A and B are shown apart, each in its own frame.
Chain A
Amino acid sequence: MKKEWKNPFWENAAKDRLTVRLNITHDDGSFSTTVAKVSKFDVDGKITSDYEEVISQNTMEEIDKFTEDRLERHRQEREANIKKQKEKHEAKRLEDLFNYKLQTFEIPEIKESTNRKLKAKIRKAKNVIEMQAYATILLMEKYNEEIKSE
């Protein structure tokens, strides 16, 4: 049986516990692989044979590097996920805003209005408050026209 301890990284700052991929080639030629937890010390405080095997196949520098690389990879993944969530949120906000604008343009007084300058302001509004403000101005304009004509 051949045991290979691959890609070990420290589980803790004390560096007395490792996570490592264990590849085993059995005597009959079959192959198995698993993720193993390896402690440096056993219950009596003696260094374990598994730990010694890991250390014999991987230098301390390599284990430190695997640990740092893994932390960095996880940090980047976390940052990418946060960024993606923010983007998704902002994209959803803009899609919703677009929907609100189309609904605003369906208000009969706004739909019929020929004041394209104000309609453009509604279209270019960056948020719902700005959109509503311009829609209100346009409705006020129509309202005032009605009052005058009465």
Chain B
Amino acid sequence: MRKSNPSKGFVTVASKKKTFLMGVDNLKESILDYYPEAKITLFTEQRFIDDPDCQLYFRYFDQVLPTPSDTNREKMWGMANSPYDLTFYMDADTEARHEDIKNVFNHLEDGKYDMAYVNLTKAGSGYFAEWEWGPNLYDDGWQGAPDHLAHCGGVALYDMRNPLVKEFMQDWYDLFLLQRAGRWSPPEFDNIRTGNFRQWDQLTLWWLIYHSPKYRSLRWKFFEDNYRWNYFTSFGFNKDGTYNYDYVDPNRDYGKNNPDPVVIHYSSWMDKDGVKGFL
């Protein structure tokens, strides 16, 4: 039986480098710009939590909690340990840009869905490092498991009232670390004969969603106004204030409602090693 009045909040994660704390600080403030009462939890390394120089980054967070390790994929651990029933996870290099951020939790439709993701489309695939390895494409009338990374891990909305969701996120974390270390390779991976997909946590997500018997009962969906919830800067911005949804997601109608992106993802030219700063 699910709680009828679920708690709602945002989760973000910063590990490895202080520069990511700059990112999550900005992300948190951007959410609060539009949603002052928002609850936001940060997961970061204990050494940052203890560092006096980092304390200003932590202001206005609801909670600042330690991650168990310092990998660059502590995000899934943070996702699994969200203190909120309904959780919207956001990457450190995203920013809220629209008041609809307040309504994000409605997209789970009062318990109808356990998870909601942004769909990485065929038309947008040119903007991603790697995307597909076979002919069975979601946008071409996909059947069974698509031969590509259909789900974006940059943002994720989910309902922790279903205990399977927490296990799903924890398995995502545990299995990805094993996958990256070459210690976990389910038979479905053998179909992937191109590219370097095993470095991506989205491949783990693909397997959990489409191939794991344990999670077959989870109900997931893509956001109807898909890329509004994760508009990559590489998709382009037009001088007249419009966006390029028609190019990157032609099968969805963005004209029905306000098309302005809710979440911008500054990922294209990011220098995650910090040589040039955050970007």
Contact = CB atoms under 8 A, between A and B. Distances in A.
Contacts of A101: 26
B29 A120 contact: yes
A88 B266 contact: no
Given A91-B235, A94-B237, A111-B56, A102 B22 contact: yes
B237 A91 contact: yes
A35 B260 CA distance: 48
A111 B278 CA distance: 16
A102 B26 contact: yes
Interface string B205-247: 0000000000000000000000000000111111100001000
A51 interface: no
Interface string B99-121: 00000000000000000000000
Interface in A101-118: 101-103, 105-106, 111-112, 116
A147 to B, nearest CB: 24
Nearest to B236: A87
Contacts of A102: 22-23, 26, 277-278
A92 interface: yes
B26 A87 contact: no
Contacts of A96: 279
At the interface, is chain A mostly helix, strand, loop or mixed? helix
A92 B234 CA distance: 8
Contacts of B266: 94-95, 98
Contacts, number: 66
B179 interface: no
A112 B95 CA distance: 21
Nearest to A91: B233
B56 A112 contact: yes
Contacts of B269: 92, 95
A95 B268 contact: yes
Contacts of A86: 236, 238-239
10 contacts: A84-B236, A86-B236, A90-B239, A91-B234, A94-B233, A95-B266, A95-B269, A99-B278, A120-B29, A123-B30
